[in-house]
């Protein structure tokens, strides 16, 4: 067949090459011998579909992605190349080769193939099978911002947060998450979630604590706020000054937001136990802690009213009042 091909006129060469290529590909199963034959046929007849398919199958089987790219680029069929590469990537079982091929497709789509949406899909597939791929996550952040795809942007920030190396980087990412939740999604629950995460990372930061309180106000998350402050107070490393601040806040939340006066009294007692000289709480606190219960009975655990208090203005124990009362009765 090779001798016949060598002596054949030019117009007969394509048919002979097609026959020889089929022998190598189908009967002898030799891609090494078949590829030069099909390549020559494609050179003589650009766009020859059979030769293109045979070369495509051979290059995909060998993982010869550069040669496959050259093959389709020479034919001016980059869109077809994208389809072939993505189909090949979907069929790969091993993670690393699959990710590498998706990355190749994404780069091709962002560049000469001009298919940005497909590039994003390839990057998303990469992140789905390799969630710790920080490079891909960083590439997706500006794309999602431009697309205003806030839900996916949150997920991508979470990937980056999981790979952050220090608290400063974590705080920056948590702040980005909080801003998206508050400004873009208008979700009080998510805003509280990320404000709480920021507070956990740096609980001594007054600004972060204020942000947590504001988020709890919007989300009506007073139970969550109380739980976090209680956990912080229980930390053995926390100083008394910070404990007093947090107990003050817990008392006000219990009294004004949760309508739990018994809890408020407990917090105020803890404040006094920590700072015995601190007798002057705010007026509401004094009422909660020392106010008179119904019928003048003292609250459990609190001293009864003093005699001086019982002999206040208008009390029957006051002689002048008693005489005035008696005179009024006589009249």
CA pair distance 300, 83, nearest whole angstrom: 79
Tokens of 88: 């090949």
CA pair distance 272, 268, nearest whole angstrom: 6
Percent of the chain with pLDDT over 90: 72
- Summarize the confidence of residues 197-213 as an average pLDDT: 97
Residues 283 and 229 in one domain: yes
CA 106 to chain centre: 24
User: CB-based contacts of 9: which residues, under 8 Å, 6+ apart?
Assistant: none
In a domain, 18, yes or no: no
Find the range with the poorest average confidence among 7-11, 40-44, 236-240: 7-11
In a domain, 135, yes or no: no
Asked if residue 249 lies in contact with residue 213, where contact means CB atoms within 8 angstroms, the answer is yes
Residues 246 and 196 in one domain: no
In a domain, 203, yes or no: yes
Tokens of 47: 């766009």
In a domain, 264, yes or no: yes
Give yes or no for residue 270 having a pLDDT over 90. Answer: yes
Digit-coded pLDDT (tens) for 221-242 = 999 999 999 999 999 999 999 9
Asked if residue 326 lies in contact with residue 319, where contact means CB atoms within 8 angstroms, the answer is no
- Summarize the confidence of residues 273-286 as an average pLDDT: 64
Q: Tell me how many domains the chain contains.
A: 2
Residues 188 and 241 in one domain: no
92-to-59, 86, 123, 129 alpha-carbon distances in Å: 14, 10, 16, 12
User: CB-based contacts of 145: which residues, under 8 Å, 6+ apart?
Assistant: 153
pLDDT range class, residue 276, cuts 50, 70, 90: confident
Residues 183 and 209 in one domain: yes
List phi, psi (to 5°) of 149.
Answer: -95, 80
- Summarize the confidence of residues 133-140 as an average pLDDT: 95
Of 13 and 179, which is predicted with more confidence?
179
In a domain, 108, yes or no: no
User: CB-based contacts of 42: which residues, under 8 Å, 6+ apart?
Assistant: 48, 51, 52, 55, 71, 75
State whether residue 147 is helix, strand or coil.
helix
Burial of 278 (0-12, 13-18, 19+ CB in 10 A): exposed
In a domain, 323, yes or no: no
Asked if residue 25 lies in contact with residue 61, where contact means CB atoms within 8 angstroms, the answer is no
- Summarize the confidence of residues 45-62 as an average pLDDT: 94
Number of residues that this document lists for the chain? 331
Residues 226 and 288 in one domain: yes
pTM more than 0.85 = no
Find the range with the poorest average confidence among 83-87, 88-92, 153-157, 312-316: 312-316
What pLDDT shows up at residue 9? 67
Give yes or no for residue 111 having a pLDDT over 70. Answer: yes
Find the range with the poorest average confidence among 21-35, 120-134, 187-201, 279-293: 279-293
List phi, psi (to 5°) of 267.
Answer: -65, -40
* Domain span holding position 283: 221-292
Tokens of 103: 């990355």
Average pLDDT of the chain, as a whole number: 85
- Summarize the confidence of residues 87-103 as an average pLDDT: 94
What pLDDT shows up at residue 3? 66
In a domain, 178, yes or no: yes
In a domain, 238, yes or no: yes
pLDDT range class, residue 7, cuts 50, 70, 90: low
Give yes or no for residue 291 having a pLDDT over 60. Answer: no
CA pair distance 72, 53, nearest whole angstrom: 11
pLDDT range class, residue 272, cuts 50, 70, 90: very high
- Summarize the confidence of residues 37-52 as an average pLDDT: 92
Percent of the chain with pLDDT over 70: 81
């Amino acid at each position: 067949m090779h001798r016949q091909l060598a002596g054949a006129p030019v117009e007969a060469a394509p048919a002979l090459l097609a026959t020889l290529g089929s022998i190598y590909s189908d009967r002898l199963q030799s891609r090494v011998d078949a590829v030069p034959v099909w390549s020559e046929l494609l050179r003589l007849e650009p766009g020859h579909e059979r030769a293109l398919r045979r070369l495509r199958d051979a290059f995909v089987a060998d993982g010869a992605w550069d040669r496959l790219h050259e093959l389709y680029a020479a034919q001016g069929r980059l869109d077809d190349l994208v389809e072939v590469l993505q189909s090949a990537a979907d069929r790969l079982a091993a993670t690393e080769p699959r990710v590498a091929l998706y990355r190749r497709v994404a780069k091709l789509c962002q560049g000469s193939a001009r298919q940005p949406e497909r590039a994003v899909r390839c990057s998303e597939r990469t992140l789905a099978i390799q969630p710790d791929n920080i490079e891909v996550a960083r590439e997706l952040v500006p794309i999602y911002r431009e697309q205003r795809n806030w839900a996916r942007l949150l997920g991508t920030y979470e990937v980056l947060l999981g790979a952050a190396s220090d608290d400063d980087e974590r705080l920056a990412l948590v702040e980005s998450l909080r801003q998206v939740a508050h400004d873009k999604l208008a979700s009080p629950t998510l805003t509280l979630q990320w404000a709480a995460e920021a507070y956990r990372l740096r609980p001594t930061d007054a600004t972060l604590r204020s942000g947590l309180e504001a988020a709890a106000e919007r989300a009506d998350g007073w139970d969550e706020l109380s739980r976090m402050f209680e956990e912080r107070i229980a930390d053995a490393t926390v100083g008394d000054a910070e404990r007093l601040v947090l107990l003050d806040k817990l008392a006000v939340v219990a009294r004004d937001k949760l309508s739990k006066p018994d809890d408020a009294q407990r917090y105020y007692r803890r404040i006094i136990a920590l700072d015995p000289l601190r007798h002057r709480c705010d007026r509401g606190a004094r009422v909660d802690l020392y106010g008179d219960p119904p019928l003048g009975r003292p609250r459990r655990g609190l001293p009864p009213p003093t005699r001086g208090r019982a002999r206040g203005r208008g009390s029957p124990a006051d002689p002048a009042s008693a005489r005035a009362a008696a005179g009024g009765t006589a009249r």
